Amino acid sequence: MPILDSSTGEVRCTYTVSELAHAADEMRVWNTMSLLAAGSGHLGGTLSIMDVTAALYLKHINHDPKNPDWEGRDRVFWSAGHKAPALYAALGMAGYFDDRLVTFHDEVLDTLSDVKGVEQTVLLRKLGSGFEGHPNRFKLPGLELSSGSLGQGFGVACGSALSARISAPDYNCYVILGDGEQDEGSIWEAAMFAAHHHLDNLVAILDLNGLQIDGSTEDVMDSDVLADKYAAFGWEVIHCDGHDMADILRALEEADAVTGKPAIIIATTIKGKGAPYAENVVGYHGSPPKDGRSGAESLDTLIEHLGLTELFPADRVDKLLGIAERYQVEVDERVDAMVPKFSRDYWWNAADTMQVEMDATRNGFGEAIAAIGADKNACALGADITSSIRMDWFYMPDGKTEDPERRSRFFSCGIAEANMALVASGLVKEGKIVFGGSYGVFSTGRNWEQLRTTVAYNDYPVKMADAHGGISVGPDGGTHQSLEEISLITILPNFVMTVPADSAETNKATRAIAAIPHPAVVRYAREATPVVTTAETPFEFGTANVIRFRQEADNFIDAFEHVLATDYTSENEDLAIIACGPMVPEAMRAAYILKQEHDIEVRVLDAHTVKPLDEASIAKAAVDTGVIVTAEEHQVGGFGNLVAGAIARADTGSPIKMAMVGVQDRFGDSGAPWELVKSFGLTAEHIATTCLDLLE
């Protein structure tokens, strides 16, 4: 059925098979252009699913872009949420954005006056655009589910299909799955449920392109004979060529006709289809065109290869990319306006003095895991984002070449974090030193019950890397920005947790937890973070560091003194800022601002160990200053409430003024790392303003 007018039942728009194939290629251009403008995103999987996407949204399903919430519409759930740019291109081509402009904090930007319909997808992953790195159903029309954590959309589709069967209106449900996603146990729970309840109004579509982040699906976690597995679970299995439009439409019609059981279409595809340089290339799973606008691996090459130069001439592409650039300029201005102002600009490296080096905090973890890997009793577990979190340095200590002996002690768990925690438990039970890890939302969130009952309850010394902590992850958006794990982990008996400030401290903290006979988590950020410690900076697990601003210097790091809190004597400071993680550099910069602007002396406490927390040093800071501000790149209170509890348990002798800086009870967003830090109120300027308010 073509696109409908839901009020009359009349056809709004329809496509022939050849027109659909052409539309799919046009969507490939919109998709790739949006990734180029964003500077990030997933090219491979969005191009492989594009023909299926065009068939669904432009020809097969019942829906009305003018009435996105029409109850009689068919539902499409994108469980593989990282393929969102393909979804956005389809919604744009179908007309969902014709009468709508994207917004920034409920306000239409001036830049958008000449942007219409599908053209808006060029604003992918930009703050306030609505086109987040993973779908957010509250930001755009036509989205059934906010998704991105693999394996979860399948179960939602089951529930929606079940609802359609027990009450009007009647509709069909479709769910888009990736082949790497088949690693998740929740996939097979949903498959069993759907078959048991005979959900014949549910159609799963599996994008079988054979590649995932860490390599081929065969190498990461061999899921061979998927057709036989689904058939054994009670599903009708239908095969199609995922790039043959007529065959896709045939498979969809055949799946809809199945009665008494659910159907799955296994669409054989080529990852990166349409971009000759990206086809069947692992590296293009999560990368935009490497040559940008022009060159061998570029947007122009794709346009020329698809024969769409007349539809996308150079001047049109220039205009669209220019819109994205102007949008970013306007967003930057608005974000900068959110940051409190002082007599001069104190932003990182804005002046000739107080210069700081930046380094990705995850590199510190990589350096540590490379050292730990030298122990032949050490093992590491991967969860398909091995390189992204630097776990691959375990078996590539030089960052380039695999060490065969170390490689024999690295085991891929696939996209299956819950099982990873259990496998790690079995290994440590037999005396091995084991590090597992993933993005924090998965490595300490998705598998929390396994961490609680198997790891913590048994006091198995499993070590978990909690990567991508905080909103500074950037454009992936809220599904991938972990903001809750300090609360999740510190509440568990036996667990210890460290949240280091920079790459150097992450190295030390990771090595420290490797030697602790209890389960442990190290939480670290992804992107470049100011380096504020050195190899010589004091570090003692469980003991905070006091950091004091001494004088302005050419290098930021030289302007401060670091002392173990147990060795520090009060200097009668006006207040204390107690911070963890990347908020430690911001707290240091806040201390610098307050001294320069108001001659206020600040004691900064780097609480790199959040469990066990250095309660004695926190209580001493409260007694000595009487004014405490906590800072965390986390839901506010996750760390702050631990500090507040430590103060409440102490005999302070007098009331303590206290405030907390953190993420204010909300999920993350897509945007550049530093613009998110600014818009979420996590800068030194925000901390300094909070301190001034508290002192006044």
Q: Where are the domains of the chain?
A: 3-323, 359-530, 538-695
Cα 528 to Cα 25, 242, 646, 692: the distances in Å are 36, 39, 31, 29
Element holding 523 (H helix, E strand): strand 520-523
In contact, 621 and 627? CB cutoff 8 Å = no
Cα 100 to Cα 108, 165, 552: the distances in Å are 10, 33, 50
In contact, 280 and 272? CB cutoff 8 Å = yes
Return the CATH number of the domain spanning residue range 359-530.
Answer: 3.40.50.970
Tally DSSP H helices, then E strands, for the chain: 23, 24
Q: Pull the structure tokens for residue 635.
A: 């839901």
The residues pairing with 439 across neighbouring beta strands, listed in sequence order, are 467
| DSSP per-residue codes, 304-315 | HHTT-TTTS-HH
Please list the alpha-helical segments (H only) found in 197-275. 217-221, 226-232, 245-256
What's the pTM value of the predicted model, to 2 decimals? 0.95
In contact, 550 and 604? CB cutoff 8 Å = no
Element holding 381 (H helix, E strand): strand 378-382
Task: At 617, give phi and psi (nearest 5°).
Answer: -70, -35
CA-CA distance, 126 to 34, in Å (whole number)? Answer: 10
Please list the alpha-helical segments (H only) found in 66-126. 84-94
CA-CA distance, 68 to 183, in Å (whole number)? Answer: 33
CA-CA distance, 95 to 675, in Å (whole number)? Answer: 31
Could you say which residues of the chain have pLDDT below 50? none
Q: Pull the structure tokens for residue 237.
A: 């299995």
Parallel, antiparallel, or unpaired for β 560-564 and 433-439?
unpaired
User: Residue 214: what pLDDT?
Assistant: 86
Helix, strand or coil for residue 163?
helix
In contact, 481 and 667? CB cutoff 8 Å = yes
Instruction: Express each pLDDT in 364-387 by its tens digit.
Output: 999 999 999 999 999 999 999 999
CB atoms within 10 A of CB 454: 20
In this structure, is the dihedral angle defined by the CA atoms of residues 694, 675, 127 and 391, taken in order, positive or negative?
negative
CATH topology identical between 3-323 and 359-530: yes
In contact, 390 and 363? CB cutoff 8 Å = yes
User: Residue 696: what pLDDT?
Assistant: 86
Sequence letter at residue 46: T
CA-CA distance, 339 to 320, in Å (whole number)? Answer: 30
CA-CA distance, 83 to 21, in Å (whole number)? Answer: 19
User: Residue 590: what pLDDT?
Assistant: 98
| DSSP per-residue codes, 568-603 | ------SEEEEE-TTHHHHHHHHHHHHHHHH---EE
User: Residue 213: what pLDDT?
Assistant: 87
Buried b (16+ CB within 10 A) or exposed e, 554-564: eebbebbebee
Task: At 286, give phi and psi (nearest 5°).
Answer: -125, 40
Share of the chain above pLDDT 90, in %: 91
Question: Rg (Cα) of the chain, in Å, rounded?
Answer: 26
| DSSP per-residue codes, 483-516 | -SHHHHHHTSTT-EEE--SSHHHHHHHHHHHHT-
Sequence letter at residue 491: I
Burial class from Cβ neighbours inside 10 Å (0-12, 13-18, 19+) for residue 410 reads buried
Q: Which CATH class is domain 3-323?
A: alpha beta
Cα 628 to Cα 544, 549, 569, 683: the distances in Å are 15, 17, 17, 17
CA angle at 658 for the pair 652 and 659, rounded to the nearest 5°: 160
Sequence letter at residue 412: S
CA-CA distance, 46 to 408, in Å (whole number)? Answer: 33
User: Residue 1: what pLDDT?
Assistant: 59
The CATH-assigned architecture of domain 538-695 is: 3-Layer(aba) Sandwich (3.40)
Q: Pull the structure tokens for residue 83.
A: 């393929």
Q: Pull the structure tokens for residue 212.
A: 């995932």
Cα 539 to Cα 261, 509, 529, 566, 657: the distances in Å are 60, 8, 19, 12, 29
